[in-house]
Amino acid sequence: MLNAEQWVASTNERIAAFTRASETELAHMGEEAEIFIEQTRTFLAGGKRFRAMCTLLGYSTSAPRIDASAIDVAVGLEFFHAAALVHDDIMDRSDTRRGKPSAHRAFDALHVERGYAGDPERFGISSALLFGDLLLAFSDELVTTGIRQHRESGPRARREFNTMRRDVTVGQYLDILEEVSWPVVDKASALDRAVRVVTYKSAKYSIEAPLRIGAALGGADDELLDALSLFGLPLGIAFQLRDDLLGVFGNEEQTGKPVGDDLREGKRTALIAIAESRLGAGHSLAGLGDDNLSVERVREIQDLLRDIGAESEVEKMIAQELSRAHEALDTVPVPDDVRKALAQLARMVTERSA
C-alpha cells in the first residue's frame, strides 16, 4: 500500500542528510558558497513530494521492498523538481514560491543587503540560474548513486531519467513560446497546444516518468512500464490542469503565490484557450500578461472565466483524464494492494487545494 507519511519522512531525511554532506563538501570554497546550501534547504523544505512518492510507488510494483537505492533516486527527482522551479520562476518573473521569495529574488535581496556593486536584479537572475544548475548536479549525483546499485535494471532507469529531462526542457520552451506566439498562430489550435505544453512540461515528469523510473529501477518489463504510462500520463495531465485552476482561482494562503499570478504571467493554459474560444463581443481578457494587474481586475477575469463556463470545462477535462487513468489502472499487472495504492495516488494529486 501507499505509505505516504513514511515515504515522505524517508525522503525528507535523505534530503537533509545529502544537504549536510554537500555543505561539508562546499566548505573549502569559502563562506560565500554557503548561500547555495541555505537556498537548497529553503527550496527543498516544502512541497508535497509527489515525484518521490511516484518513484517509490513505481519501484514497489517490481521490487519486494523500498531500499536506500530507491530513496536516492526518488530524492534525486525532488532535486530535479526544485531546479525546474528555480528556472521556471526566473522565466515567469515570479516573486514568490510557497510563500517565500523566489530564488532570484532572494539573491537580488542579498545583493542589496550587502551593498554589492552593479544591478541587483541581474545578479539575482545570474545567481539563481547557477543555483538551479547546482540543484541539477545534485539531482544527477543522487540518481547515479541509486542506479549504481542495480547493474541489470540501472541502465533502463537511467534512460527513463534522461528521457524525462529532455521532455521537461523542451516542454518548458513550448510554454514560454506560447506566451509570445499566440497573436500569430491559429486560434483554433490553442487548446491542443495548451494540452501539449501540459503534457511535456509537467504531466510526464510529475507522474508518468517517476512511476516509470521507479519501476524500471525495480526491474519492470515493457508490459508493466507501458501500463504505468497509460495510467500515469492522463493522471499527470489531470494534475497539471488542477494546478492551472489553482494558479487563477487558488487561495493565496494555501498555494503560497499571489492570487491570479498566472494571469499576470500571461500563462496560455487550457483555461485561457477555452475562454478565448468562448468570448463574444464586449468581453475580453484585457490585462492578461500585465505584471501590474490589479486585484480588482483579477477578480473581474475570474468572474468572467466562471460565467462563460471556462472553469467548469477544465473541471470536466480533469474528470475525463482521471476516468482514463482509472480505466487504465484496471489493466496494470500488479497485485491488488499496489493497485489500491495507485488509486490512492490518483486521489491525492487531483483532490487538492495547493
**CB-CB contact of 165 with 144 (8 Å):** no
**CB-CB contact of 224 with 334 (8 Å):** yes
Longest distance between any two alpha carbons in the chain, whole Å = 64
First to last CA, the chain: 24
Query: Residues 107-164: pLDDT tens digits?
Result: 999 999 999 999 999 999 999 999 999 999 999 999 999 999 999 999 999 999 999 9
Q: Collect all residues with Cβ–Cβ distance below 8 Å to 154 and sequence separation of at least 6.
A: 147, 148, 217
Task: Give φ, ψ of 49 to 5 degrees.
Answer: 60, 30
Parallel, antiparallel, or unpaired: how do β-strands 96-97 and 100-101 relate?
antiparallel
Pick 259 or 96 by higher pLDDT.
96
Distance CA 79, CA 172 (A): 17
Instruction: Record the cell numbers describing residue 187, joined without a space.
Output: 486560434
CATH number, domain 4-350: 1.10.600.10
Per-residue pLDDT averaged across 78-98, rounded? 93
* Among candidate residues 120, 29, 43, 45, the one with its CA nearest the CA of residue 86: 43
| Angstrom distances, CA of residue 252 to CA of 71, 85, 258, 337 | 32, 18, 5, 36
For the chain, the average pLDDT equals: 93
Positive or negative, the CA dihedral 187, 192, 195, 197 is negative
Query: Residues 186-236: pLDDT tens digits?
Result: 888 999 999 999 999 999 999 999 999 999 999 999 999 999 999 999 999
* Among candidate residues 269, 271, 251, the one with its CA nearest the CA of residue 260: 251
Q: What percentage of the chain reaches a pLDDT higher than 90?
A: 79
Query: Residues 327-343: pLDDT tens digits?
Result: 999 999 998 999 999 99
Per-residue pLDDT averaged across 21-42, rounded? 94
Cell 547493474, residue? 151
Q: How confident is the model at residue 171 (pLDDT cuts 50, 70, 90)?
A: very high
Q: Output Rg (C-alpha) for the chain, integer angstroms.
A: 21
